[in-house]
Structure 1
Amino acid sequence: MAIIVQKYGGTSVGTIERIKHVADRVIKTQQAGHQVVVVVSAMSGETNRLLALASEIATQNNPREVDVLVSTGEQVTIALLAMAIQARGFKARSYTGGQVRIITDDAHSKARIKQIDDEKIQQDLQADTIVIVAGFQGTDEVGNITTLGRGGSDTTAVALAAALKADECQIYTDVDGVYTTDPRIEPQAKKLDKITFEEMLEMASLGSKVLQIRAVEFAGKYNVPLRVLSSFETAQTAGSGTLISLEDDDVEAPLVSGIAFSRDEAQIKVTNIPDKPGAAFVILALVSDANIEVDMIVQNASHQGIANLTFTVPRGDYQRVVDILHQAKDILGDSEIIGDDTIVKVSLVGVGMRSHAGVATKMFQILANENINIKLISTSEIKISTVIDEKYLELAVRALHKGFGLAQ
């Protein structure tokens, strides 16, 4: 009998009516001959409400206590969903992350799963019981409650699917699949029937909010087929969503599968750097020591022993980086710090790029035809990213979507 793991996000369980709707869908899955494990998030808005309560106590709270607080949101949802299933005459049992023994490291608010004890779940499944597990949480090896970070319920679901050797992990959300780009920007965006782990990982890291990056990494590592579906469609109207799996060698890969973009970008340029070993290290070490992530990095060719270093950081960290570099004038000497927090990153993603030349040329031509200047470029085997002015984001996405025929 196939094991199906289903995950429902906050909007999918946002009201009692939505929870009842999820109960009906879960029961239908079991009646179709599957053993079912359900992972749920807190009801929409609940985690933010709890964090707001914490902020009324103090601006800086103990991370352990914050995890104890926010983990209660999922505990409410698992109990309510179990009650809804039981009220329909079916067996269900809820578990917190600690009760299932989802063991993590001790990094509060961003813990990573180390192992899962699936014995209780297997026993329940054999007894035709629907198992409901709180997403987003676990415990460290000494029993402290930990949480996995925003979107962590996706990771919980994939990790459980891997531990149980499930046939499929279904991620139910407020969209009916993965699209070629955000339909709110390009109405002609098309839902993809399937996409590879590698492509989905790139799209998630480049700005697509459909799945948490760590969940996709986990799924790819353990080869857990993922399917993104909408929980807002009825069983009669629901489609097959988007399947995320290993690359299919038998099918010709599309040249470009999708366009991802991120508004959360800022650019820093440091001029007049001595062109000698270790110069870039000194600058980037100042940033990384502040636990700020650096993304794209470009150093131009040296001219008379002087070079410029340009890199991007999350927009929320922009002012901190500028301040850090200005405070390091004794290290940077005559270097000038030039910042820009009105940029965005637009990226093409597709495994077909491995075997096709000219994608970058075509991309740059399309942007040039729209009079859009490219500030930075970064490439990988299956990705081309460009940094452009924020005001051109929607124009660039629509032009690239049309130029690469993604609506067809």
Structure 2
Amino acid sequence: MTTTEVGAGRAARTFTPAELAAVRADFPLLGRTVRDGKPLVYLDSAATSQKPQVVLDTEVDFYEQRNAAVHRGAHALAEEATEAFEHAREQVAALVGVEADEIVWTAGATMGINLVATGIQNATLGRGGAAAEQFRIGPGDEILVTEAEHHSNLVPWQELAARTGATLRWIPVREDGRLDLSGLDDLVTERTRVVAFAHVSNVTGAVAPVARIAAAARDAGALTVLDACQSVPHRPVDFHALDVDFAVFSAHKTLGPTGVGALYGRRELLEALPPVTTGGSMVEVVTMEATTFAPPPLKFEAGTQMVAQAVGFGAAADYLRELGMDAVAAHEAELAEELLKIGEIPGVRVLGPETVGTLGEDAGPEAGLPDRVAAVSFVVDGVHAHDVGQVLDDAGIAVRVGHHCAQPLHRRFGLAASARASAAVYTTLDEVTAFREALAGVRAFFGEE
């Protein structure tokens, strides 16, 4: 590896060309061609990442060698399956700096957020006993989100507000795509019960000042719920250091399988939060009259779990840790700088920060890290986003088009849709160059020049 400055006082090694080639060789899908034999340029990693061979092999190995129900049975396969399942929990926990029993397996980040929101609703209904009283919410209370949220971190809170009588408020977004925190002291008050926000916007790529928002929430006695889907795969993340109460992230954006994700929760909060899905595997004693529940995380993992996917998620977490998340962040900062050069193309407008800076000392544990990731949304004058995507696809370049499950943020920018190019650890500068060259010809293709 070579050394580069991720930020002031935070030097990190990034990948040499040979090392990056070795990384790419780990991802079999990246070698395929599309559209009449054109090399695939995959720039849709913010939607879903590609999977390294070790993840694929780990899932296959599970099915071929130790497929069995976990936490049930005393036979050899059941023991091996349970060991693999729980080891994966340790691997994923290590990626984000927490303890294994603070990680709850979910079907994805969306399910994780809904689990917390519904758990709070259950507590409000009187479930969970005295320990759950801390989660009660009702008329006069407030839930704070941001205008930049993915629908998965907005709609569940809208629903919780509607069901409990609480009021939903939000932090606005500035023209440059960053959160407007000028009124934070007025938004986080003694009435605030929950503050839910994305670590990184899936539209603008901007990194939120987690330390500042979490500190304000804690001072007000509010819970913090962090959507870390766009941060965990791309930069060092330590939930303990960030001092958040809950956080969610998904495997399929983190080089892992689909259908599995993780919810982090402070141990004492998971112990107090009422369960949401009930049934087998999450109980201690069941009678015809009542049931007592297992301790977390099992309390939140009713039914047959996504065992092979979780084991694959563990392999993905280890793969990233072995690469080094500082190195991943440094590599992707270079990619972000190159992607942002599309703003120099006539008629192309970038949404969000147009440069890559570094977070200052007030960012706490994130000081020195890049202040945006390599996910760049954009619009082309006179050309609909879907048409932009089609022209790029004809050139073998895969980007995302639409509102990216963030309609309020697009509405903030006066748009219905945009296109988005997003990179990952396996993306090369040559691929970004190919993307820019293809994008430069889009307006001419439609006779806009």
- Normalising by structure 2, report the TM-score: 0.24
Would you tell me which structure has more strand in proportion to its own residues?
Answer: 1
Query: Which has the larger Rg?
Result: 1
Structure with more contact order per residue of length (Cα contacts < 8 Å, sep ≥ 6): 2
- TM-score for both structures, normalised by structure 1: 0.26
